[in-house]
Amino acid sequence: PKSGRRTMAEDTSHSEDDVQETKKSCWDCLPCYRPYAGDTTKLREIVVNAPYSQDPELLSRHQFMDNYVATTRYRWWNFIFKNLYEQFQKAANFYFLIMAIITSIPGVSTIPVYATVTPLAFVLAVTAIKDGIDDYKRYKNDRELNNRTVEVLVPGGDTQVLKWDQLQVGHVVKVKQDTNFPADLILLSSSEENGECGIQTANLDGETNLKIRQALKETVSLSPEHIAKVGSMTVKCERPHPQLYGFEGQLFMDDAHYALNPSHMLLRGAMLKETKFVYALVIYTGNQTKVMLNNDPPRFKQSHMDKVMNKQLYLIFILQFCIVFTCTVLSGWFYVNRAGKHWYFRIEDTSVAAGTQDAVTNFFAFYVLLSVMVPISLIVSMELVRLGQAVLINVDNRMYDSEDGKLAAARSTTLSEELGQIQYIFSDKTGTLTSNQMAFEKCSISGVMYGGTEKDTIGVNDSKRNKSGGDGSFDLKSQHKDGLLTEADRSHERRATRIPDMSTIDVDGDPRFCNMSDPALLFKLLEGDEAARSYVLALALCHTVSAVTDITRPGKVIYQGESTDEIALVTMASFHGVRFVSRERDVVTLVLPWVTQEGQQQHNDSKGAAASGGPGHRRSNTMGSRVQFKILQIMAFSSDRKRMAVIVQYPDGSIRVLIKGADDVMERRASKDPQVNSPDMWKTTHSHLFQFSREGLRVMLVGERVLDAKSYQEWSKRYAEASESFADKGDSRQEKMDRIAGEIEKDFKVLGVTAIEDKLQDGVPLTLKLLKKAGIKIWVLTGDKQNTAVNIGKSCGLIGWDYQLEYLRATTPEDVMKELKTIKQHLELSDKQGAALMVTGASLEVGLEDKTQELLFEVMNHPIVRVVVASRMSPKQKARVVTLVKTKLHVVTLAVGDGANDVSMIRAAHVGVGIRGKEGMQAANSSDYAISKFRFLTQLLLVHGTLSYNRNAILILYFFYKNIMMAVQQIYFVFVCGYSSEEVFDGYMLNTFNLCWTALPILLFSVFDRPANVDELLEFPQLYLSGLHGDLFNFRTFWISFFEAVVHGSVVWLMTWYTAHDMFDSYWVSSVATYTVVVLVANTKMAMITTTWFWFNALIIILTVLVYFGFIYLYCGPIGFSFSPWLFGVIQQVMARPMFYLVALWLCISVFLQDYLVYYVQRIFNPTLLMLVQECRNDTSKKQDLIYALNNKSARRKSTTTYTKAPNGKQTDRQTDRHVYQPHSQ
């Protein structure tokens, strides 16, 4: 097969048109772009062990990508070209490339080529080295994976060892326990008799729980010799696509075909667990495996600070053009009118044509001279600083989680300052605000609550109620019809006169998953209550949980599954005597607390085993029996369906559909027949649903429907046809299956309600309180019931108990518009300090339409709306809301979640934060920052975000300050050198200014400076407002700094140049003197803006100045003579004059006094909050006064609300703050 090491335009669609297009591609003439022969048809056809075939025709059409994996961005032969192409996509790099080209043109510029090429080459080289190191690390990881080995079946049944990169599609591999799967495989058989195997997908989605995969029963018993035979089986499946858990295929064997689905698939990267070995067929290899197709490269995100800086750069380009154009005109005028009068110019032709030609040449030269206005070193400095800030995040012990033993991880190094400008947070609820540690709390069965406050209504006396009242009593006829009780058993249970002791119940499972142990419910089960038994049996049967031997408790099992909700439900059943003990392919075994006819023989056998001390016997203190239920079909849960169902054949032969799901979906699909679901039952159930959700519990409805054999057979035939079909232009296989499943998941009897507690994470209330004080608006987007989300919001402090609550529940455009107008009117007339808007997914879907979208966002962004809670949201809706908010409101957004259903939302936001949770690592792997707990957001945003924003804002302003100050010297020099394009400074001096004499101090400042310590940033979250409003870096602050640089540069020029000019004849002496003063002034400015002094940053500033004088002394001596002979002996002349020291000292003191005076006046008359916090640092009394003032201002927030500009210039709500603090500062 053709090598997977080449680049190939992979087509993963299913349409014939696309296939034809691939065949006719103009690139087909090139072997490296020619499609594989096996992928030129609509479906991929795989013949078992075809690589060992001797048939040339089979080999020619059985060609697929090999299993070599390459995650690198570059190859050795294209690294330089591709990396340079990527770097020149940046405007600043491209700008300096043009400057370098202009400089290299003879006669255009007086600046040597190296003066512009050297800094550009340095920036390109540093970035290329960084990219090369990162790519080499990826190459080493790829090499380690490709060199792993695996056993492969050869014809005859023997095995040979191959490297992973030698695997081909069609090979049959033997994978042993605790090893990873080398490619995407189809399970054929395993060491287990039923063909099952356990896998762990931690490398794919981070989930460490055991998942079960199952081979077709037709291939389970095949011998290795039969499997290894070439052509013994053929698989037809869809072509590679990135859907991790989506797969459609068919296996052909012995003139029959069998459907293949994701439960038969073993993905590359997963690990084999609890199974000695498996035989599996390779179907997808290399970069066509699902894990590689989902291995997206890091997404490039540009921070808002970069965008603001780019806008200022455009203005500087315009200003630069104006200056260059003015100098060009003056140059032409001087050439025609004045140049001939100066004999040393040796100009004979002073015509207008000659002047014009000279002016055009000078135009490009002036551009090169003034290129210093754009600091090219700023780009690489920003990357280094952000990398340092990311390292600080990665090693911050305050974000260490003792449970998983991990620190925070900065997966992106381009968004550190963006963390300090977040205006909206979009959060998931389950696993994000809550711990995702599910525990069954309460339930409602046919209108009767258990585990709650209604126990006085439940008990022995319930057996005396009217049998037909629907109140939970039992019916002898129905029990006899049900066939689950013998007459002796019923007589025994009638004699029960007390509620049983729960301690006598033998239970399985982890007790952490169930907080409910209600004797009344157990009594009902023993008494023979039909509703109670149906409900608990539904919980014990309707799931995909597996039972695994508990090594810590001999004879017991623990439950493992993909959903902690299901584990909680099964554990609850176990706690009340209905124990799920095993699952064997399509048979589930339960131990019931009552004796059945079907389980009587097993019960007697069990007693015999106990008497003989047989292995594996579980002693029970209550009567019971082991009963087997046949699972006919499982319709798995999905976020779109919001429900799960199983079809079970009971021991008495009856066929029942057991279904559970979200209450809104279930209620629509439940039977409307009052004889099935009585109005009284609905009334009580709704009351319990409301009560459970008010307590913040997750609720589901459980239902049951009885099918007759004929109806099931007809339905099963159509469902099997859909499960064996392939995607067509109408629907995918899964859509067909869901549609047919929906036909049977309706008209069911509601058995009851489950209520599961998902406890709040530690520190969530305080975290939300601090984030709200920081001015951040928080939206909760969840799939839970609205009342549950609202009460979780109240319990964690997100929704204030005094907030005005507004609900949007309409589902039609007209009703949504009407409700929105009413809500808006309520908000306008409200006297509350805050409001919370509650919307449902259905309402939001309608509200996002064009007609109502503007009004919806007007209401959501109303000044007093502090919180928006959207319930019953699908993953697509979450992403759509985030996208619309950031585009419509032009605000900086952050999305935080912990599950795979949050990935789209995380990717849609400006900053994505993934929480490593029980739902896996998909959210964390798709995020920009990964944390272990929601409470770490305060440290990430209020500390690292605030500090990074402050540091990076000053970094950009300082870079432009010193470069503009340097450019001012060149502009003034134009006016004293006859408007020529002569440079004022030597080329090497220009290069070393940014790279050596002003680089290290600002880099250390941008990583370590701390205007407020960590405790102050958390104690005064209002400090975050400076970044949220973009106060430190915007149009105003940029041009104030620009003007300050012009003023300082002008003073330096006038004082230094003319003082030196009076003392020396050579302009190079004046040049070196001016350059030296600029270096000293720039470092003095650096010292003034530093707020936190460490020994190393003080030492670096001092060493920078000392090393500079050493450099300039050597450069103006014999060492630099070969580079710049005109500078020989210049520094000795400068340093021999006391006036130079006096001027330099006076200018540094002037800069110091100017900055000091500005800070002093601001602290007295208009202090910022940061200044006040600094003043209160060692004064507890002042700090308490300041906290009181801030809280008092928060209470009056509504009356002080104004409108200002967001960091991107858009209007947003902002509260005035300075006048409140000023009296306390004085």
Residues with a catalytic annotation lie at 428
Residue 1163 token pair: 């602290």
Neighbour count for residue 201 (Cβ, 10 Å): 23
Alpha-carbon torsion 179, 183, 187, 188, what sign?
negative
Q: Based on DSSP, count helices (H) and strands (E) in the chain, helices before strands.
A: 46, 35
- What 8-state DSSP symbol labels residue 939? I
> Do 778 and 867 touch, CB atoms closer than 8 A?
yes
| Strand-pair category, 804-808 with 835-840 | parallel
| Strand-pair category, 911-915 with 893-897 | parallel
Question: Partners of 920 in the beta sheet?
Answer: 917
Residue 1019 token pair: 């104690």
Write a three-state SS string for 116-162.
HHHHHHHHHHHHHHHHHHHHHHHHHHHHHHHCCEEEEECCCCCEEEE
User: CA-CA distance, 839 to 450, in Å (whole number)?
Assistant: 31
Neighbour count for residue 232 (Cβ, 10 Å): 18
CA atoms within 13 A on the CB side of 1032: 27
Among left, alpha and beta (phi > 0; psi -120 to 50; other), residue 354 is alpha
Determine the 3-state secondary structure of 775 from DSSP.
coil
Write a three-state SS string for 5-17.
CCCCCCCCCCCHH
User: CA-CA distance, 791 to 692, in Å (whole number)?
Assistant: 10
Nearest to 167 by CA among 257, 36, 342, 50: 50
Phi, psi at residue 920, to the nearest 5°? 115, -170
> Do 698 and 788 touch, CB atoms closer than 8 A?
yes
Among left, alpha and beta (phi > 0; psi -120 to 50; other), residue 215 is beta
User: 429 to each of 15, 786, 798, 842, how far by Cα in Å?
Assistant: 40, 12, 12, 18
Nearest to 1072 by CA among 1056, 1050, 1054, 1049: 1056
Nearest to 719 by CA among 697, 737, 699: 737
User: CA-CA distance, 76 to 79, in Å (whole number)?
Assistant: 6
Interior/surface letters 1109-1119, b for 16+ CB within 10 angstroms, e for the rest:
eebbeebbeee
Question: Partners of 546 in the beta sheet?
Answer: 560
Helical (H) or strand (E) element with 757: strand 749-760
Question: Partners of 213 in the beta sheet?
Answer: 197
> Do 44 and 38 touch, CB atoms closer than 8 A?
yes
Helical (H) or strand (E) element with 252: strand 249-253
User: 14 to each of 22, 57, 344, 1101, 1215, how far by Cα in Å?
Assistant: 12, 24, 79, 64, 55
> Do 367 and 102 touch, CB atoms closer than 8 A?
yes
* Amino acid in the structure at residue 909: A
Residue 1160 token pair: 């002093």
Distant-in-sequence, close-in-space partners of 666: CB < 8 Å, separation ≥ 6: 643, 659, 660, 700, 701, 703, 750
User: CA-CA distance, 576 to 524, in Å (whole number)?
Assistant: 10
Nearest to 74 by CA among 8, 123, 128: 128
* Amino acid in the structure at residue 64: F
